[in-house]
Structure 1
Amino acid sequence: MVQQIGDSDQPEPMSAMVDKLSSEQESPQPLTTDIETEKRILAQKQKERAARVAEQEKRAKEFLTEQEVAEAEALAKARAESQQYVDNSAPAIDDTSSTESTKDVTTDLTVQPRTESQSATDTTKSSEAEKQKAVQEQQEAQRQAAIKEQAAAKKTCREQKTSGGRETSRSKKAGEAQAAAERKREAAEAAKKRATKSPSEYQIKKGDGLIKLARQYNMPVEVLAQANNLSPSAALQLGQSITIPSSKQVQRLEREAAAAEQAREKKRQQEEALAKKSADAKREAQQKLSEARKEVKETDAKGSFGVQVALANDQAKADELAKKFRAAGYQVKTSATSRGVRVVVGPERGKVAALALKDKINSDPKVNTTSAWVLYWR
């Protein structure tokens, strides 16, 4: 018997049936979607978001209001403190401390509120940032104004103190000058009262001197020294007795000292005039001598002439005189005669030159002679 292949009447194998069932089970089942529910959930979320945004805006407005109130209070307090500082003339607060404290207040007032939700819109954030920036600028301007007011008050206080100090210094100096003048006047009066009315003896103690005693008894040191026959610079010995002149003696000694000073001055002037006259005569004689030596006239006596300045008793005396004239710059020779030893200055060529030399010798203070005369040498 032959089995026919592909006969539809034969049942399918068991494995094929299992595969068919598995494929049917794996096919997706249709999902039921509730569109209305989704819309309702989305609307609820949008409503919650709008509520959160409104709450944030409300809190920001409240914070700005509180910040403005705090700024107004801080400014009023700063102005009150500045006015009190000016009124009391108290030292102003250091700029650094004021700046730091103001910065601390500004920092405290400008603290950003922490948002409770990170889902705020970009528009709201930008608006809040601009408002906060404007507030910060306003606070900075107010802080600078307060600092300027404090600096002005401090400057005014310093100027007032400086002006008052100058007035006090001037008053103090004037008072000191007046007191010094008063003390000086009192010292002069006391010195006049201490002046002795009659001469008295004083025994020198340790530390005494003419200058000290002269000041003590109100008299010139020269008068005190003259009354005791001492030099004004003389040193005094311990235990030495000196005379303190009376007021009348002081006046007399002062007159005598003034007269002596006038006499000394007059003598000095006379000596200066004499010295000047002698110097002029010597200069004139020297000039004449120089001119005479340069020119010898035909009418002059020819030959060598000398100027005899002395006739010594012996050679020793003649040598002594010759030494003095040589020291004065003259050319000197000695010549023995029957009457003594001549001391002759020269020679000069021509009588005119010899006469000029004689005038020079007679006017020379170094040799101090007026008896020179011209003689013929050879």
Structure 2
Amino acid sequence: MNFSRQALLGIGMILGGSVMLYAMVQQIGDTNKSQPASAMIDKPNAEPTSAQPLTIDIETEKRILAQKQKERAARVAEQEKRAKQFLTEQEEAEAQALAKARAESQQYMASTTPSTNEDATKNTLATPVSAPANADNSTNSANSAEARKKALAEQQEAKRQAAIKEQAEALVAAQKKREADEAAKKEPPKSSSDYQVKRGDGLIKLARQYNMPVEVLAQANNLSPSTSLHLGQTITIPSRKQVERLEREAANAEQAREASRQKEEALAKKSVDAKREAQKKLSEARKEVKETDAKGSFGVQVALANDQAKANEMAKKFQSAGYQVKTSPTSRGVRVIVGPERGKLAALALKDQINSDPKVNTTSAWVLYWR
């Protein structure tokens, strides 16, 4: 008996272990089958860890902007077409209402006139003596019918005008709502926010999306308008007040640049005029020296260098500007001298030309006696 119990217990344990082993094998098989699907799902979502530069095609953005402008124009044309169609339908409805009112008035007159005539005939047969009074009653009835017809027409016209006014007000309100919605969409956000760059984003696209100039968006992020964005990069979207401030700063900077450019042009023109005048004076002075045959030579000292190397460097700059240059060592340094010129008048004119020449950029030239 004990042996039978032990045998049954062993058989039960073997069967239980077999079932558990089969379940484990089945679970492992299911796991192996589900792994490729999971891998297939996870694989497309895997993003590269390194930021990839995104290039922006300016021409493509311009074409997209032009296409959107065409679409906007098409929508406006469609709205105008619908408004015209609405007005046409309104006019037709008015015509139909007026025709209906006329038909009802005619029907009312047709139903009223016979009874009036019959009453008048009966009254005439019954009391021949009072015929003039019956005639007056008939006239009064006709006038009353005409008045009712007129009142009915006025009532119909008032209803028609009220319906037209109501529809026009509804149309105007809808149009104002659409314009307000479009204006709200075109305005920048009320508060600044951070935006994480996605695939295909660029400064031009984001500026158009948030309705602000690309220069303002670039300035808010200390970037150049032509800078390419990277996937995952964080961009600050400025608020409406920030956009207005940046636009004012950009306008002021543009005005400052324009003023600086005009000033530089004026200085350049003044420098050119001064150089031309100095050259003219130099030519006249040289001509006067030749005519008077004055003795003595003069030079124009333009620099006093510490050593010969610096003096040679200064000499090259003046030689490249078209001047004849020499160097002369002294106890205080090496002189850099332009010239010589015969006569002091010619040397003074040469000094004025050198001081007004933007190529050499000096104002400290002075005349000295050469020999």
Query: Structure 1 length as normaliser, TM-score?
Result: 0.50
Any unmatched runs of 5+ in structure 2? 1-72, 81-174
Superposed, 1:213-252 pairs within 5 Å as 213-252=206-245
Residue number in structure 1 paired with 2:152 = none
- Calculate the aligned-residue CA RMSD, in Å: 2.4
Structure whose alpha-carbon radius of gyration is higher: 1
Listed one character per residue, the Cα deviations across residues 163-216 of structure 1 (whole Å, up to 9, x for unaligned) are xxxxxxxxxxx987523889x9688435236x3111100111111111111111
Structure 1 pair 300–219 and aligned structure 2 pair: CA distance change class (3 A): farther
Structure-2 residue corresponding to 1:253: 246
**Aligned partners of 1:215, 1:311: CA distance in 2, in Å?**
60
1:269 maps onto 2:262 in alignment: yes
Q: Does 1:178 align with 2:77?
A: yes
Please tell me whether residue 192 in structure 1 is matched to residue 186 in structure 2.
yes
3-state secondary structure, aligned to 1:269: helix
Question: How far apart, CA to CA, are the structure 2 residues paired with 1:188 and 1:365?
Answer: 56
Residues 1:318 and 1:196: Cα distance change in structure 2 (over 3 Å):
same
Preserved CA contact (<8 Å) 2:186 2:211: yes
Determine the structure 2 residue equivalent to 1:210: 203
- Between the aligned partners of 1:180 and 1:365, the Cα distance in structure 2 is 63
Contact 2:294 2:342 in 1 (8 A): no
Query: What's the offset of the Cα at 1:333?
Result: 0.2
Cα shift readout 1:196-237 (whole Å, capped 9, x = no counterpart): 111100111111111111111010111101100011111111
Residue identity matched to 1:178? A
Q: Report the counterpart of residue 367 of structure 2 in structure 1.
A: 374
What is the aligned length? 203
Please show how residues 135-154 of structure 1 align to structure 2 within 5 Å. none
Note if contact 1:300-1:352 (Cα within 8 Å) is conserved in structure 2: no
* Counterpart residue identity of residue 335, structure 1: S
CA distance in 2, matches of 1:210, 1:175: 27
Q: 1:303 to 1:204 in 2, by over 3 A?
A: same
Partner of 1:136: none
- The partner residue of 1:328 within 303, 313, 321 is 321
Q: Is the 8 A contact 1:191 1:216 kept in 2?
A: no
Contact 1:301/1:351, CA 8 A, preserved across alignment: no
1:288 partnered with 2:281:
yes
Specify the SS of the correspondent of 1:243.
Answer: strand
* Greater helix content: 2
Partner of 2:298: 305
Match for residue 356 of structure 1 among 340, 349, 354:
349
CA contact (8 A) 1:302 1:351 kept: no
Which structure is richer in relative contact order (CA contacts within 8 A, separation 6 or more)?
Answer: 2
Matched-pair contact (CA < 8 Å) for 1:304–1:350: yes
Q: Normalised by the size of structure 2, how large is the TM-score?
A: 0.51
- Taking the aligned partners of 2:79 and 2:210, their CA distance within structure 1 comes to 21
Residue 175 to residue 273, structure 1, CA distance change in 2 (3 Å): closer
One-letter code aligned to 2:329: A
Q: Give 1:349 deviation, angstroms.
A: 1.1
Equivalent position amino acid for 1:271 in 2: E
* AA matched with 1:280: D
State the shift of 1:238 in Å: 1.3
Deviation larger for 203-212 or 307-316: 203-212
How far, CA to CA, are the matches of 2:75 and 2:232 in structure 1?
41
1:337 counterpart = 2:236: no
Report what 1:119 is aligned to: none
Q: Give me the whole-angstrom Cα distance separating, in 2, the residues matched to 1:337 and 1:175.
A: 84
**Alpha-carbon shift at residue 286 of structure 1 (Å):** 0.8
Question: How far, CA to CA, are the matches of 1:261 and 1:185 in structure 2?
Answer: 32
Q: Deviations over 1:100-159 (max 9, x none)?
A: xxxxxxxxxxxxxxxxxxxxxxxxxxxxxxxxxxxxxxxxxxxxxxxxxxxxxxxxxxxx
Q: Which blocks of at least 5 consecutive residues in structure 1 are unaligned?
A: 1-173
User: Could you tell me which amino acid in structure 2 is paired with residue 232 of structure 1?
Assistant: P
The residue type paired with residue 305 of structure 1 is F
Rounded to whole Å, the distance in 1 between the matches of 2:79 and 2:215 is: 28
- What's the secondary structure of 1:296's corresponding residue? helix
Does the C-alpha gap of structure 1 residues 300 and 251 become closer, same or farther in structure 2, counting only changes over 3 Å?
A: farther
Following the alignment from structure 1 to structure 2, what is the Cα–Cα distance between the partners of residues 339 and 233? 55
Q: Distance in 2 between matches of 1:185 and 1:325?
A: 67
Deviation beyond 6 Å, 4+ runs, structure 1: 297-300
Q: Report 1:21-170 matches (<5 A).
A: none
- Cα–Cα, structure 1 residues 292 and 185, in superposed 2: closer, same or farther, change >3 Å? farther
Counting aligned pairs with the same residue, the percent is 79
